[in-house]
Amino acid sequence: MDQVNSDSAKEAMRTYVKKKGALAFGVADVEVLEKIAPDGYGPKALMPRVKSVISLGVGGGTKGSWAANAKTLAYIGDTETMAYRIAYGLAFMIEKKFGARSIFCPPDMDPEKGARTPLQSLKLHAEVAGIGARSMAGDILLHPEFGMMYYASVFTELEVPPDSPMEENPCPHPSCVKLHAQTGQTPCMKFCPVDCLSGSVDEEGKLKEMHYDAHACAAMSQQYEAIPNILLDMMDAKDPIERGMAVHSPENQMIWYKLSIGAGELLSLCYECMRVCPITQSSLPIKTESRKGGMREKIAEAEAQATMEKEIESGSAS
Amino acid sequence: MNYGVTQELIDTYGEVIFKLSLNKQTRYGDPVRELDFDAIQEQRAGTGLTDEEIAKKIGLLPEQVSIVRVFVERKYHRIDLHRRLFHLGGGKRWKAAEYQHPEERLSIREDGMKLRESIRFDPDRASYYLENNYWTNETMIGWLNTHASDRPNSLSIISTDFTLTWLELKEEVDKLTNGLLGLGLKKGDVVALQLPNIKEFIVSYIAISAIGGVMQTIYMSHGEKDIEYFLNHSKARATISPDHIKNFFVAEKLCNLRSSSDTLDQVIVVGDDIPDGAINYNDLLVEGVPDVGNPPVGSDPFLLLYTSGTTSNPKGVPLTYHNMLGHARLCAPEFGMTENDKILSVAPFCHLFGLYNYHCTFYAGAATVLLPTFSPPEFAKLVQKVSPTALFMGPAHAAAFREKDLLDSHDFSSVNYSVFSGAACPPDLLKWWKSQTGSLVCQLWGMTELAAGTFSRPDMDENIGFNSAGPVSPGNEIRVVSSESGEELSVGLEGELQIRGSSVFPGYFNNDGANKSAFTKDGWFKTGDLAKINEARCLEITGRTKDIINRGGVKYNPSDVEELIFSHPSVDMVAIVPMPDDVLGEKACCFVKLCEGKKLTLEALIQYLETKKMSKAKWPERLEIIDEMPLTPTRKIIKGRLLELLD
């Protein structure tokens, strides 16, 4: 695909994601990502022939949700599933329209590494794609126009012109610089319920230093972290009341509730059966060339063999 | 599957792994956005390394790093941080100083938990009481807030030299609540009160309950040994007492006891003579709206009273708001109490009869008339000055007027009814009281374990009040059973009195032995009283089960003999107890305290009984004249002590 086509493809993608509700769109340079990401966590670790990483951002909760109390916001503030849905659609759109293999970048943890290590940093993609810059609030990305967004990424074998990171970081905001000068804290530092943020601002009003206690933040906001500890607390409980509290206290009950209704998208299957299912594979919207000796070729051969045997049985073979 | 990880490995490398991991992140400047690859590389350790990177850096396997890391994460993890969200947003911002974790805010000390463990009601009965509104979510401070709001300027307390409105009472209670909170007292803590019927008693009582505390009372007559026993048993954390009671420097003694007590921490003193280490009650009156993190609720215990101990050591009786306030709410209308009443309790508030009276008065929004110390002249003077509409008193209080002409010389016409309880009430005495004061007479049978079990109502036929303790109180049911078979007895037959109902306590505190024998399998409390229920379903107490004398297989209750002997002009007090006998098993021994200057012999006593046609089988066979009758603080004879004198 030539450069002109790449540019128009990029515009088509931008138009697609905006139409679906994304606020921001950008393309991250794969080579830059490979250089920055830790070993084994660059895009090529997931998709060896990736040429472009598309990043898109959707807005956070509604204005109303920011005015609601914190426990309500905890339920309705996140919109990442909307971002994922758009990215998922974009991957299909690229394949259908431009015939290039694409994947929706899984926003999940590396199953080999446990709950703290994601397969990819979506934030890094967005930052390099120029649709977010690291803030003083624990590196949450901020956009000068859209503020905090949820991000999703698509990896594609289509090469599209990459964007650059933002020229200016909107954080810290001038009012935060002023407050920091007066009190030594920015608002995000001051109102953090677990004191996980601290840092300083230089003479030019730029971030000088930022400290983020990710562990405390996660303990506060990511309940899945609590589950093994609840189980251990149950085992360590000194009496039946304490044991019962470990299981049945309201906040712990919520964890069981979320688990049982499937919130958090529990792994339900490994997809291997579907990978080799001819019906599933033949229904794919684009047909890619089978690798010689690969699974698709074997499936095609098996299909041809089965068809032939069926015809012989029915006496229709010529 | 340990991958060679030992606890020692975790201890050695855990902290540095935690620090190098993504758990702790530090960034200088904005190197990623600026694509400053050198700076990114320099800051890698600060911005957080993967397990592989950490492993490579410090010389462990990546798998070992993962294990060590999660162990350290577990060490620092707090499950409960999430709940901080519950207090934020919607205009509220995080303020660490204002946040208190529920575990801290709602914590109850181990001693308090032990007391709560003694609160166990039959679940079916509890459901019944709740469904029928015998038990509701009432508390002392809840009632006070209602009165202060509904009738702020009505009188709540009347004394000879001051009055207090409901609003003023609330202000005083709030101040003391602040003071008690300032001492670190909290829900479940026992605070012992040894105060007469004064304003400070009421203020303290409500303030203790406002912080979720449990009030224990100690009778004014109790001395150092008794006090030590009670405080050790209850695990009281604070006391509120006068500086001295007559010539007993109680505050000083309490300060001394504190050094030998595991729990007693604060000695609060009402008075001028404050010993070193004690706290002046007045210094605890702190302005401001109390911030009670763990406020009381209806199911909480709020009273720990002690039985008067006529048969054994006093037993601790925990009572809940459900028990007592629900009871008062049901009983007050039976007396016709309204907010216009002025109720005088001659009975001390340290005793449940006094507290019961106060609860009823409190519920009705009536005024409490204070009589700190009983003496007939003081009592008569107060009645004339304040014009109470009802009196709650013991028969001994009425008897104290008999040889004086105070009733003639003082105006008792304001008294609509007088409620007698606390000991056997001779009908003649009650009739005399009515004739002298013009007040209606009610009789009430109650126990520390249940407050009012039965009582005659003011609007009932007067003979009911003279001759019985009336019908059962609302929310309760009574029955009389055979001591031998346990079967319920018919009307008019004497047997053991049992009671079940919403005011009945859950069981003795820290006393499994007593609890085993106190209740029947179907949840009736065995009162230990002998009684009859008459045709009108009214209760007639006839004695105590333990007083029964078994003379050669013939069992009888000596109470009627005692009553007859009491009518002898030489006798001031009398009690008959069983004494061991080789032939008959038991015989009756009569202990008598004589009136001043009088004499009595066994022969003269028997002759008296014979002329009164008392059955010969019930005549005592030994007479002991004693100078002092052993009495409980509520003036009940301690027959157990008399048994000890038999030898």
- Determine whether the interchain pair A68/B92 forms a contact, defined as Cβ–Cβ distance below 8 Å: no
Domains of chain B: 7-79 (no CATH), 140-539 (3.40.50.12780), 548-645 (3.30.300.30)
Token pair recorded at residue B530? 């002998």
Residues A127, A21 within the same domain = yes
- The answer, yes or no, to whether residue B634 has pLDDT greater than 70, is no
Can you tell me whether residue B379 is helix, strand or coil?
helix
Q: Give the residue from A55, A179, A225, A232 with the most B CB atoms within 10 Å of its CB, the best one to mutate.
A: A225
For residue range B130-161, what is the model confidence (pLDDT) as tens digits?
999 999 999 999 999 999 999 999 999 999 99
Residues A11, A139 within the same domain = yes
In a domain, A209, yes or no: yes
What average pLDDT score do residues B470-496 get?
93
Q: How many domains does chain A have?
A: 4
Q: What gap in Å lies between CA A136 and CA B27, rounded to an integer? A: 9
Partners of residue A55 in chain B, C-beta under 8 Å: none
In a domain, A288, yes or no: yes
Angle at alpha carbon of residue B166, lines to B162 and B168, rounded to 5°: 60
- Determine whether the interchain pair B82/A251 forms a contact, defined as Cβ–Cβ distance below 8 Å: yes
State chain A's mean pLDDT as an integer: 84
Q: Give the residue from A34, A75, A215 with the most B CB atoms within 10 Å of its CB, the best one to mutate.
A: A215
The total of other beta-carbon atoms located within 10 Å of residue B39's CB is 15
Residues A59, A23 within the same domain = yes
Q: How far is A43 from chain B (nearest CA, A)?
A: 16
Question: What band does B112 get if pLDDT is binned at 50, 70 and 90?
Answer: very high
The total of other beta-carbon atoms located within 10 Å of residue B213's CB is 27
Token pair recorded at residue B279? 């706290």
Nearest to B72 by CA among B136, B6, B150, B16: B16
- Burial (CB < 10 A; 0-12, 13-18, 19+), residue A207, is buried
Residues A264, A279 within the same domain = no
Contact B531, B540 (CB under 8 A): yes
* Residue B606: predicted pLDDT: 92
What average pLDDT score do residues B339-348 get?
96
ipTM: 0.71
Question: What band does A268 get if pLDDT is binned at 50, 70 and 90?
Answer: very low
User: Is the minimum CB–CB distance between A206 and chain B shorter than 8 Å?
Assistant: yes
**In this predicted structure, which of A221-235, B23-37, B42-56, B474-488 has the lowest mean pLDDT?**
A221-235
Question: What band does A169 get if pLDDT is binned at 50, 70 and 90?
Answer: very high
What average pLDDT score do residues A290-303 get?
60
Partners of residue B87 in chain A, C-beta under 8 Å: 70
Q: What gap in Å lies between CA B254 and CA B228, rounded to an integer? A: 8
User: Is the minimum CB–CB distance between B97 and chain A shorter than 8 Å?
Assistant: no
Contact B392, B417 (CB under 8 A): no
- Residue of chain B with shortest Cα separation from A229: B74
Residues A117, A194 within the same domain = no
- How many angstroms separate the first and last alpha carbons of chain A? 43
- Among B37, B52, B77, beta carbon nearest to A40: B52
Q: Is 0.90 topped by the overall pTM?
A: no
- Among B26, B69, B85, beta carbon nearest to A211: B26
Residues A122, A59 within the same domain = yes
Comparing B32 with B641, the larger pLDDT belongs to B32
- The answer, yes or no, to whether residue A318 has pLDDT greater than 60, is no
- The answer, yes or no, to whether residue B358 has pLDDT greater than 70, is yes
Comparing B415 with A316, the larger pLDDT belongs to B415
* Token pair 């063999």: residue: A305
- The answer, yes or no, to whether residue B124 has pLDDT greater than 50, is yes
* Residue B404: predicted pLDDT: 78
Contact B235, B305 (CB under 8 A): no
State chain B's mean pLDDT as an integer: 92
Proportion of chain B above pLDDT 90, given as a percent? 71
For residue range B374-429, what is the model confidence (pLDDT) as tens digits?
999 999 999 999 999 999 998 888 988 877 788 889 999 999 999 999 766 888 88
User: Is the minimum CB–CB distance between B120 and chain A shorter than 8 Å?
Assistant: no
- The answer, yes or no, to whether residue B467 has pLDDT greater than 50, is yes
* Residue A4: predicted pLDDT: 45
Angstrom CA distances, A25 to A14, A46, A55, B136, B610, stand at: 6, 21, 6, 61, 115
* Residue B127: predicted pLDDT: 96
* Residue A272: predicted pLDDT: 60
Q: Where are the beta strands (DSSP E) in chain A?
A: 24-29, 52-59, 102-104, 133-134, 141-143, 147-156, 197-201, 207-213
- Determine whether the interchain pair A193/B84 forms a contact, defined as Cβ–Cβ distance below 8 Å: yes
Partners of residue A232 in chain B, C-beta under 8 Å: 74
What average pLDDT score do residues B335-362 get?
96
For residue range B61-104, what is the model confidence (pLDDT) as tens digits?
998 998 899 889 888 888 777 778 777 777 777 888 888 888 88
What average pLDDT score do residues B541-554 get?
76
Q: How far is A214 from chain B (nearest CA, A)?
A: 5
Residues A258, A198 within the same domain = no
Q: What gap in Å lies between CA B588 and CA B583, rounded to an integer? A: 13
Q: How far is A312 from chain B (nearest CA, A)?
A: 55
* Residue B275: predicted pLDDT: 94
Comparing B193 with B408, the larger pLDDT belongs to B193
For residue range B521-536, what is the model confidence (pLDDT) as tens digits?
989 999 988 899 999 9
Give chain B's radius of gyration (CA, Å). Answer: 32
Nearest to A127 by CA among A228, A24, A230: A24
- The answer, yes or no, to whether residue B241 has pLDDT greater than 70, is yes
Q: How far is A263 from chain B (nearest CA, A)?
A: 17
Report DSSP state, residue B3: T
Can you tell me whether residue B530 is helix, strand or coil?
strand
Residues A125, A90 within the same domain = yes
Q: What gap in Å lies between CA B600 and CA B615, rounded to an integer? A: 20
Report DSSP state, residue B283: G
Q: How far is B95 from chain A (nearest CA, A)?
A: 7
Report DSSP state, residue B366: P
Residues A9, A130 within the same domain = yes
- Residue of chain A with shortest Cα separation from B64: A113
Q: What gap in Å lies between CA A28 and CA A127, rounded to an integer? A: 8
Partners of residue A70 in chain B, C-beta under 8 Å: 85-90, 92
Question: What band does A299 get if pLDDT is binned at 50, 70 and 90?
Answer: low
For residue range B33-45, what is the model confidence (pLDDT) as tens digits?
999 999 999 999 9
Angle at alpha carbon of residue B613, lines to B610 and B619, rounded to 5°: 55
Angle at alpha carbon of residue B353, lines to B455 and B140, rounded to 5°: 105
For residue range A93-103, what is the model confidence (pLDDT) as tens digits?
999 999 999 99
In a domain, A164, yes or no: no
- Determine whether the interchain pair B82/A113 forms a contact, defined as Cβ–Cβ distance below 8 Å: no
- Determine whether the interchain pair A207/B29 forms a contact, defined as Cβ–Cβ distance below 8 Å: yes
Residues A127, A82 within the same domain = yes
* Residue B647: predicted pLDDT: 74
Partners of residue A124 in chain B, C-beta under 8 Å: 32
- Determine whether the interchain pair A223/B82 forms a contact, defined as Cβ–Cβ distance below 8 Å: yes
* Residue A264: predicted pLDDT: 41
* Residue A197: predicted pLDDT: 92
Question: What band does A273 get if pLDDT is binned at 50, 70 and 90?
Answer: low
In a domain, A162, yes or no: no
* Centroid of chain to Cα B399: 28
Proportion of chain B above pLDDT 70, given as a percent? 98
Token pair recorded at residue B426? 């001779």
* Residue B343: predicted pLDDT: 98
Nearest to B249 by CA among B238, B257, B261: B257
Q: What gap in Å lies between CA B633 and CA B245, rounded to an integer? A: 14
- The answer, yes or no, to whether residue A249 has pLDDT greater than 80, is no
Residues A251, A227 within the same domain = yes
- The answer, yes or no, to whether residue B329 has pLDDT greater than 90, is yes
Question: What band does A76 get if pLDDT is binned at 50, 70 and 90?
Answer: confident
Residues A133, A177 within the same domain = no
Question: What band does A275 get if pLDDT is binned at 50, 70 and 90?
Answer: low
DSSP B485-534: T-PBPPTT--EEEEEEETTS-S--TT-HHHHHHHB-TTS-EEEEEEEEE-
- Among B27, B83, B94, beta carbon nearest to A191: B94
Domain range for A205 is 172-213
Residues B326/B328/B333/B334 CA torsion (nearest 10 deg): 110
In a domain, A233, yes or no: yes
- How many angstroms separate the first and last alpha carbons of chain B? 76
Q: What gap in Å lies between CA B366 and CA B358, rounded to an integer? A: 10
- The answer, yes or no, to whether residue A266 has pLDDT greater than 70, is no
Amino acid letter, B40: I
In a domain, A161, yes or no: no
Q: What gap in Å lies between CA A167 and CA A144, rounded to an integer? A: 11
* Centroid of chain to Cα B253: 23
